[in-house]
Chain A
Amino acid sequence: MIIKEIRIKNFRSYYGDNNIFEFSDGLTLILGDNGDGKTTFFDALQWLFNTTIDKGNIDHMSEMRRSKMEIGEKEEVSVAMLFEHDGEKSVEKSFSVERVSEDFFRVGQLVYRGYETFGSERIQVSGKNLIDRCYDAFIQRFSMFKGESELNVFDNATALKDLVDKFSDIRKFDDLVEYTSSFEEKANAAYLKEMKSDRKVAGEAKSLELQINRLAEEISTKKRDIKDKTTSLEVFSKRLGELEENQETSERYKDIQSRLKNKEEKRRKLKAQISYIDYNHALLDRMWVLCAFPDVLQEFKQKCSALSREKRKQEKDYERQKAIEIGKLEAVKEMQGALVNGAPELPWYLPNQETMEEMLNDHICKVCGRPAEEGSEAYNFMWQKLEEYKRHIALEAAKKSQKEAIEEKELFKFGNIESLHNLSISLSGSNESQVSGLVREISDRMGLVERLTEDLKEVEQQIQDIIDEKSRLLIQAGNVSEAILEKDFNDIKGLFEQKGRAEVRLTELNGELAQLQTRMDGLQKQMDALNPASSQVKVYRDVHRVLEEIAKAFAFAKKENLRRFLAEMQDKANGYLEQLSASDFHGEIRLRQTADDSTEIRLYSSNGTEIKKPSGSQLTVMYISVLFAISDFTQEKRDEDYPLVFDAATSSFGDSKEENFYNVIDNLKKQCIIVTKDFITKGRVRFPEIEKLTCCVYRIKKADGFDSKNMATVRTTIEKIK
């Protein structure tokens, strides 16, 4: 299929009916800056080729056209293509839009019209069928690409299988391999059956067959294990490859994270230390408010001790006074009388009251034995003596009570001064030194906090530096999120271990398989060596042997065919790669078959090292080469060419690479439509470079005079500049 012409009507930014692109069978470039309608062109093509939708969509209509429609007016949106495919054909997809009210548009059904030319006659056919017949979805998948990221068509696991099925003859081998192996199995079964009935070798054959069957089972299990292991090994390797790209970043990230954690911990500790004492609370809780208290405390202590001294002094004076009074009392001496002859009297208490009262009563002095009548001198003497005695007793009693009264008298009734003095004593000593030490405690603490605050400032600066470093790292790492870096680091170790284990296991399994195969060969040989008696059995045996060889041959042929197909495609792709890369380093493409029957595209250096991280442009060139190779195959196998359409596929190319690249493609004689913003600098086309190309070039851009905020003022204009 060769596209001759594309006509776009009222599709998005393509306003009106005058949007026509004509194409040669080589390269056509459509140049446009951002927002000029490049992707819309590509989308219009995709919309045309999509045969799965039936409804029009108002969003596809030109905003400008829509805004200009009168109520009741009808308009059409369409994309039409004129192309060459076994003669000239055309296809048009369209839908109608009618403005019913200010805000409402009625959208009509999609109409898919196709025309074919037979001789000179033009016949209308189903557009859908025409597209499906000439440019089916499968081909589209390998021929239309939007952006660089879509180029890796083999990212889809079934893509290669589809491709192989379409373009190689391997499919045919599938049936053959199946037939021949079933023949072989049947022949074998028949042969073994005959063998067992053979008189001579029946017993031996039976036991051999049993062993062979068992072994065959083991072998097939082993093979399955090996396949599983190989698949998982591939998964591990692939994942590891991806991870290794981030590994360095990941390790640096890890390092930064651990330093950050460390510093943050330090900051936390410093902050805790600094806020350990709240100055406001410490005034009360730690009694710092007493820092200026020592002088007051001195006053208190002095006052207390003065009071105590004064009180004790007064108390002492008072006691002395009391003692004097008591002394005075006691100092009153008794004057002793004298008797007639000058001899001293007996003390007043001799004889005692009882004796005297008895003698007065009996009227006789019981000392001298003389009578003492009442009124006599002796009687009177005794009576006076008794009276004196009584007076003495009374006097004694009075004196005693007087003394007691003096002794009982107290100057101070209460002990307040003592308890104040006690308080003063308790506030002295260690408590006093604590209070006078507060000033030092406070200034020590403030000094410490000052130092800690300095440290904290420093740590916070370091943290900021580390965070900056992390941001720089993340910017350099590009689109990798922190979570992935974190995870990668953990994964990579685990994956290495798993991969290692899988490799060891695979080697073991292969060894075991080899052993089993040897045993199997031995058994087969023994079986073959049996010499059956019956010639019938011999015939069976020979038939089986022949069929077995045939089955092997077909299986091998199938494998070989696929290998050759891939090798051929690889060669072609490498051919393109060399051409497209020109003088630049390009390496070598290898198409590698994986265990699950899909294919990977890899770039290798000629010394056999895989280029793990090809640049964006290297990748693009690599994929485009493969796509060209596939396109060649289509041409060979189907005898039909088809166009390759790329939208902004070369955005990673530098200026010099661009020019060379387009020149090469221009000379390939393959229809290629490339929509790109290459060759445009600051909105202007670089004409000198365009001049060097031989291809046809269109320039699309927004028509002048649009309102930068109103989409209804935007329309794409098309100009053929070469």
Chain B
Amino acid sequence: MSMLLRKLLEIMLRRNPTCSDEENQVLERGDLGELDQLPSDILVQILRLLGPKEVAKLSVICRSLRFFVSDNRLWLHFLQTHQSDPSWDSVFFAETNLTSGYPIPSFVGQRPQLSFKHIYGQRAQVPGAIIIDGGSGYCKFGWSKYACPSGRSATFLEFGNIESPMYTRLRHFFATIYNRMQVKPNNQPVIVSIPICHYEDTESARASRRQLKEAIYASLFDLNVPSVCAVNQATLALYAAKRTSGIVVNIGFQVTSVVPIFNGKVMRKIGVEVLGFGALKVTGFLKEKMQLNNLNFQSLYTVRALKENLCYVALDYEAELLKKNTQASFQAAGDGLFTLSKERFQTAEVLFKPHLAGMQEMGLHHAIALCMEHCHCADLPGESDWYKTVVLSGGTACLPGLAERLEKELHSLLPPFVSNGIRVTPPPYGVDTPWFGAKMIGNLSTFPGPWCVEKSKFRQKPRLSLIW
């Protein structure tokens, strides 16, 4: 018995003590047939073994059993064991914060109590969505119910700049992706990421953003997609990190953006910092270094692979330079074995010292510090420390040591009242981080409802009051 109790205790930890009394009362009322002879913990054990679908079905047996099988802890268990993709924490975050769509409601005081049974049922029935995250370098696509993106393609090389509102190019881009996924566009809703561009808080930038969104919606609806959910890429990365407010640092293909986001809204009034270098520049810098050191390679892909596999960010650059042994090797496919030494950490140092590559830009840490100061001065209502969460995104942001180094630099740049409590998080899902943010939306119990614009609505109101 003690074992059973212990088992039950695992799930009871989070329970409300009054709940068990109610439960026992119901059982004592004695209309559960032979089940009345069983203690409720043993009945719960059988229910757990039965699994969510069977247990939900038992609701139809009789009133008492319906009450018994609606137990929140039981369904919490089922959510954790059957639907915790990509992780239980992220499901819980999404169901608590994202169910009502955009804008995200800001909770004052108590959050509404979740019914896990209801959530489970809804999540089991959502159609899922096709997710297309068109990163500036690489596009990741796949179905929201898959564990990870099912394919990638080199966006820029193949389609050119998809950040310009060119209808034909976007349409070609989306049509190609649907083709590769071998799905019909008219079957499911789609979640697309809106690239981080036209970031200024000016009339003309606003017009450009609107044009781009309009072109994205129009090209998707023309492919007969039933409904479209378009969310800023930085916001998606933030959701993937289980946050609705914070600063997202996206190291893109050609530019790096520092994006303050409050309650899911990009705070353009506070200001998005943009640096004119990104992944391409970092790779290019390594290429130059290798050429200087007479390391011969056949393609830029080799250099990129070396960057991804050997490079890291030094916590203390000067100290790292003095280290004797920083060598490591990597076998590049079709291009032989390469051994790098100081290049391993010199490469990414360009993010902090752009002048190393001859660029007149401020370093990444300066840009983030500047953004934090702006956030601090903006003095938004509610949480005062919201901007102290920094989430990294983008392939190059996955370099080991980057988060730690940024944290250290920010502490030395900022006064304590701003820097206390800063946490820099590496991309939670690596290069696919925004895709996973979209996946969390696509599998929500309320999806597509509050998140999507339907084709008919878009057609009725072309003046975009629906698009934000």
A and B interact: no
Residues in chain A within 8 A of chain B (CB atoms): none
Q: Which positions in B face A, CB cutoff 8 Å?
A: none
